[in-house]
Structure 1
Amino acid sequence: MKIIFMGTPDFAVPVLDALYNSEHQVQAVVTVPDHWGGRNKSQKLESAVKKYADQKNLEVLQPKKLNHASFLNRLRELEPDLIVVVAFKKLPKLVWSIPRLGTINLHASLLPAFRGAAPINHAVIQGEAITGMTTFLIDEKIDTGHILLQERVPIRNDDTAGDLYNRMMEISGEFVLETIQRLESGKITPTPQRDQFASAAPKVFFDQNELDFDQPVNDLYNFIRGMSPYPASWTRYQDKILKIFFAEPVHKVHQETPGTIKTDYQTYFRIYAADGYLEIEDLQWEGKRRMGIKDFLNGLSPQ
């Protein structure tokens, strides 16, 4: 099958790799334009997908606008059977309607749950025990198309969003290949989503992630896990921002004001919440290196 792949971050690379090493033909790879970053904007930054495609000598298309005539003409010239999308922009109908079999997208939830840009983060934040992956046919709206295939993925009690992200990456390639095989053989029936069960998973931002210690300790525990490692949750300590990547919840009645921090400067760093406290284990001063609690306490002085 002739396939055009569209994606950007490292999460998309295992699917592209699986397609490249399959019997299918990857005709071209579409990703975001390069941009300048680093100190003084002096470093050219390329997407993880572009780096992989260049290593394999695949044709790379980096349109600034997805409705640009030259880009659309190139897609039509290739006459793809299918477009496969993983972590890319919203596509206009002019693009997703080109392939013979349509355009499929991989989404990191069991749709219609957690539609949006951050399904992994929100599944952990909500304390879900099960999430999964969905392949679906793209339509006019975001994450609303007919479902092709789903696979359940358990969320362990101590999973962070990063743990779940990595586990999904490991199985995503074979999952997409199975979808394509069933689609090609006619052994799959696209199923409409049940919109009444839909939930949202909007993009998450660091500046919105200050921890509210008036909340129950278990909600804080889930929030910290769901924002770890990126964009991270945080609080303020000694007039500086302190990112928190993991903490153990302790349910215990206490008389402390929520947000109170206690430490012996040797073994523990404890933040009190509404119905218990968090034993902080993995953290980082903003702008410094991430560290475990022992290293953190070794460098901490009373104020």
Structure 2
Amino acid sequence: MKIVFMGSAEFAIPSLEKLLNSHHEIIFAVSAPDKERGRGKKISFTPLKEFAIEKGLEVLTPINLKDEEFIQKLKKTNADLFVIVAFRILPKEVLQIPQKGSINLHASLLPKYRGAAPIHWALINGEKETGVTTFFLDEKVDTGNIILQEKIKIEDDDNLGSLYEKLKILGADVLLKTIEKIENGFYELTKQDNSLATPAPKITKELCKIDLKRTSVEIHNLVRGLSPHPSAILEYNGKSYKIIKTRLTNFNSQNSETIITTKKEIFLKTSDGYLEILELQPEGRKKMSAEEFLRGYSF
């Protein structure tokens, strides 16, 4: 089939690569506009655009998705399908252009975790499984009819980084299966039950702050869901620390201090006990283990 692929984040790269290696034709890619980044204000591309250019694909980067010139270019492709992975919300006039519709790959088991940060929230909420969903797009975000879903177990040692890697590979496989089903016409749609929907809103700076009134498990899951980036933040004695990795522990103490240290260990007092800090990053410093930190710093 003739496909226009739309995406921006690194999550979309395995999906595009899988389609480029299939018998389908990728007409061109669409990605978010280029941005100035860093002190030097260098122009940088999205990860998807960089990859697409390496593969010799034309890439469009419209600022306004309702721009008439952009819409006309999409119409002239006579595409069978628009495939969207980790991109922006598309206007109705774009969704309705391709003959067979527009499909999206989402990193959750919809209708759970609709929104911008489904992988983060699955970990923050302590879920034991998640997965990927392909569905036909409609006007409301992440609400369209489901084509395929595949589950994956969330391991105890998974964090945002490891789960992201697993889901982007799984997602690419499921997306190709979905496109082949659409091509052959052999698929059944499942309507989403809106009563089971849960939100996955964008991660804010406020959410990243560790609240010591929370339980050890809640803080541990927050750290997992934000690691390695943007990271959970511990504010203590006027200083800020990124907490990269923690471990649930049976450690106990009669000491009322918020942080207790040994020669090699750091324990954080929570509402129901203690949580061991394994990796952290002081402000303006590199990431280090608890033992490395304690050799040169103190709280």
Q: What TM-score do the two structures reach when normalised by structure 2?
A: 0.96
Contact kept, 8 Å, 1:261 with 1:269, in 2: the verdict is yes
Counterpart in the other structure of 1:198: 197
Does 2:26 match 1:26? Answer: yes
Q: Which amino acid aligns with 2:11?
A: F
Q: Which position in structure 2 is the counterpart of 1:291? A: 288
User: Whole-Å Cα distance in 2 between the matches of residues 215 and 255 of structure 1?
Assistant: 19
Aligned residues: 299
Q: Does 1:262 align with 2:257?
A: no
For 1:186 and 1:251, the matched residues in 2 are separated by 56
Cα distance in 1, alignment partners of residues 237 and 22 from structure 2: 54
Q: Is the 8 A contact 1:137 1:147 kept in 2?
A: yes
CA distance in 1, matches of 2:47, 2:251: 45
Runs of 4+ in 1 over 4 A off after TM superposition: 251-257
From 269, 272, 279, give the equivalent of 2:269. 272
Asked if structure 1 preserves the Cα contact closer than 8 Å seen for 2:132 and 2:170, the reply is no
CA displacement, residues 137-176 of structure 1 (integer Å, 9 cap, x when unaligned): 0001000000000000110112111110011122222111
Structure 1 residue 274: Cα displacement: 1.4
Instruction: Give, in whole Å, the separation in 2 of the partners of 1:216 and 1:65.
Output: 44
The equivalent of 2:15 in structure 1 is: 15
The amino acid across from 1:4 in the alignment is V
Contact 1:110 1:132 in 2 (8 A): yes
Give the Cα–Cα distance (whole angstroms) in 1 for the partners of residues 283 and 9 of structure 2: 24
Mapped partners of 1:169, 1:201: distance in 2: 18
Distance 1:108 1:99 in 2: 23
Paired residue type of 2:6 = M
C-alpha distance in 1, partners of 2:179/2:47?
23
Report the RMSD for the aligned CA atoms in angstroms: 1.4
Q: Deviations over 1:15-46 (max 9, x none)?
A: 010111110000010001111111142x1111
Segment drifting more, 231-240 vs 98-107: 231-240
* In structure 2, C-alpha distance between the alignment counterparts of 1:174 and 1:159, rounded to whole Å: 21
User: How many angstroms does 1:57 deviate by?
Assistant: 1.3
CA deviation digits over 1:27-76, x for unaligned, max 9? 010001111111142x1111011111111111111000000001000000
Deviations 1:220-262 (A, max 9, x none): 11111111112211112342210001111124665454x7001
Secondary structure class of the residue paired with 1:208: helix
TM-score, L = length of structure 1: 0.95
Q: Which residue of 2 aligns with 1:110?
A: 109
Q: Which amino acid aligns with 2:286?
A: R
Structure 2: runs of 5 or more not aligned: none
State the alpha-carbon separation in 2 of the partners of residues 215 and 146 from structure 1: 37
The more displaced of 212-221 and 120-129 is 212-221
Q: Which runs of structure 2 are paired with 1:1-303 in the superposition (5 Å)?
A: 1-41=1-41, 43-251=42-250, 254-257=253-256, 260-264=258-262, 266-301=263-298
Structure 1 distance, partners of 2:291, 2:135, is 46
| Percent of paired sites with the same residue | 42
* Aligned counterparts of 1:47 and 1:284: Cα–Cα separation in 2: 27
In the TM superposition, what is the alpha-carbon distance from 1:186 to its structure 2 partner?
1.5
Higher mean C-alpha deviation, range 195-204 or range 232-241: 232-241
